[in-house]
Amino acid sequence: MPVARLFGWAAFGVLVMALLAPVLSLAVAALEGTGELWPHLVAYVLPQALRDTALLLVGVGLMVIGLGAGAAWLVAAFDFPGRRFVEAALLLPLAVPTYVVAYAYLDLMHPLGPVQSGLRALFGLASPRDLPFPDLRTLPGCILLLGFVLYPYVYLPTRALFLMRAGSLLEAARMLGAGPVRSFLRVALPLARPAVALGTGLALMEAVNDVGAAEFLGVRTLTVQVYATWVNRSDLPGASQIALVILGSILLFVGLERVARGGRGYAGSGRREQAMARRHLTGWRGGLALGLGLVPVVIGFAAPAGYLLASALRRALSVGLPASLLAETANTILYAGLATMLVVSVGLLVAAAPTLLNPRAGKALIRMAGLGYAMPGTVLAVGLLGPLALLDATLADGLGLGGTGPALVGLGTGAALVIGYGLRFLTISVGATEAGLARIPRSIPDAARMLGRGRLATLIGVQLPLVRPALLSGALLVFVDIAKELPLTLLLRPLNVETLSTHLYGEAARGTYEDGAAAALLIVAIGLIPVATLIGLDRASTGRKLGKAPVARRDILARALEISAEPDGRRVG
């Protein structure tokens, strides 16, 4: 076997071990618990956590399907004043992390906050007790806020599918006398089922990963219980046992989805079909459509972002910005940048693994790369403790430091945080790179191989320059997702190091909302970067042939949809 090939298989083995190590570590740590621990969790912790988690996921799932699919149909099927603005603005909630929205609305809806104070002034009421107002710190309140933040995960792929494939079928339905509502329910929605299922799955993974919003709003989900059991009670075996319940539930959900699908895929024609003929709405109907389109934007983005901006300006003008804000921003950029470089480099090799190694092993590795994203950040952090400690001890012995040396890659070091980020967000880079590689005609790498280049040399010298836009797109998405990540950062950050997300979490825990407004606003500003890029790419690709459109987040989602529709790894249709 050539040396390069042998090195490739060795790297394949190391990466597989790195992806599986957190799961194995969770199992080992869970078995170390005392016999009394598990009965206590079953009796007092898991029932409420399972109930709250299940209700949260059902509620969020219904909300994102209704908001996402409804918004996609609104902008795809109807033409009304302001449609192009609404079409782009509906993506803006992607820029706001769930915990930032919860943080903003807790202060916005506080009894002494601007909303209730304004209503009392309007009705001439003096005391907060005189105005009955629903409490946001409830499970329905959490479902409502998460739904208005996460619906773009359904809106984005569903709208793309409507625009590319629904035109001829909807035209036939209209010729047969079906109205807009019936066409949506009987034709468009069943056609969009793969995109809706994909987006809903991504939204639910984000909901399961959430710690900040759920904790701020008093919802004791399984993920919150993992964090509380480890940090507040210093009980690693108990946290591992709850984490295994979460991981088992996720795997059960994936398995049930595959069984329900029955191995069926979704066939496509491979070409862009007739575009949808939009129905023109004018007068009050056009105004109603514009209002309906703006409601999710206002609730999911404009209201929290505007309030954070006002709070940050008020804080800056009165006492100035926090002195630590600059250092926290630098820490956020530093760790996100290091992890992004790692993720993009490894993602390129994983996406090219079917060519570098063999198709079967490469496809298996690509699927396995999604394991980290499927695991909530809290679960992944708990699972990394054992492997990182073992790696630390091995490196210390190899360097002759013994048991007295400092931590090298274990808990409390920057390396641990970068590794955690890398495992969690690897699949985003893999998806972007794979979408870019799929656009390169097969004849180009084949010609390079015929001229004597090896697989790795072809990848670096020929395919890498062609796939650079996809790499940059994936790097941008990874960087921003890392900058917004809260659970992993809370649990694996170096000692005495604060980032924007952990600063915001600390201010919310203390109830000093105005002091954290600037950090929250910076997180939103960072999140706006990929959303603005996505909007620009989306508009630039309008009217182009699909093969010439730039690679954006929808391409990654589309590729993920293709993979999910091909359970045996073969293209359908």
Average pLDDT of the residues in 256-266: 56
In this prediction, residues 510-528 reach a mean pLDDT of 82
Residue 43 backbone dihedrals phi, psi, to 5 degrees: -80, -35
What pLDDT band is residue 506 in, cutting at 50, 70 and 90?
confident
**Average pLDDT of span 446-462:** 78
pLDDT band at 3, cuts 50/70/90?
Answer: low
| Beta-strand pair 78-79/279-280 | parallel
How does residue 297 score in pLDDT terms, banded at 50, 70 and 90?
very high
User: What is the Cα–Cα distance from 436 to 558, expressed in whole angstroms?
Assistant: 12
Q: What pLDDT, in 10s, does the model give residues 389-432? A: 888 777 777 766 655 556 666 666 788 899 999 999 988 888 88
Of the two residues 319 and 97, the one the predictor is more confident about is 97
User: For residue 426, how many C-alpha atoms fall within 13 Å in the half-sphere facing its CB?
Assistant: 28
pLDDT band with cut points at 50, 70 and 90 for residue 293? very high
Task: For residue range 520-541, list pLDDT tens digits in order.
Answer: 888 888 888 777 776 666 655 5
Secondary structure string (H, E, C) spanning 501-522: HHHHHHHHHHCCCHHHHHHHHH
How large a percentage of the chain has pLDDT more than 70? Answer: 79
Q: What is the mean pLDDT of residues 45-69?
A: 91
Contacts of 168 (CB under 8 A, 6+ apart): 273, 274
Query: pLDDT tens for residues 324-383?
Result: 888 999 999 999 999 999 999 888 888 888 888 778 888 888 888 888 887 888 888 888
Rounded-to-integer distance, Cα 304 and Cα 152, Å: 17
Instruction: Give the pair of three-digit tokens for residue 367.
Output: 């699927």
Beta strands (DSSP E) in 191-313 are 279-280
User: Per residue in 130-168, pLDDT tens?
Assistant: 777 788 889 999 999 999 999 998 898 888 777 765 555
pLDDT above 60 (res 114): yes
Judged against a pLDDT cut of 70, whether residue 470 lies above it is answered with yes
pLDDT at 566: 41
CATH class of 15-261+284-564: mainly alpha
Side chain identity, residue 30? A
79 three-state secondary structure: strand
Local confidence band at 200 (pLDDT 50, 70, 90 cut-offs) = confident
In the chain, where are the structural domains located?
15-261+284-564
- pLDDT tens sequence across 203-257: 888 888 888 888 888 898 888 888 888 777 777 788 888 888 888 877 777 677 6
Whether the predicted pLDDT of 549 surpasses 50: no
Cβ density class 354-382: b for 16+ within 10 Å, e for less:
bbbbeeebbbbbbebbbbbbbbbbbbbbb
Q: Which of 44, 150, 22 has the alpha carbon at shortest distance from 97?
A: 150
- The mean pLDDT value of the chain amounts to 78
Rounded to whole angstroms, the Cα distance separating 438 from 559 reads: 9
Q: Tell me the C-alpha distance between 364 and 357, whole Å.
A: 11
pLDDT score recorded for residue 149: 93
C-alpha span between 18 and 384 (Å, rounded): 9
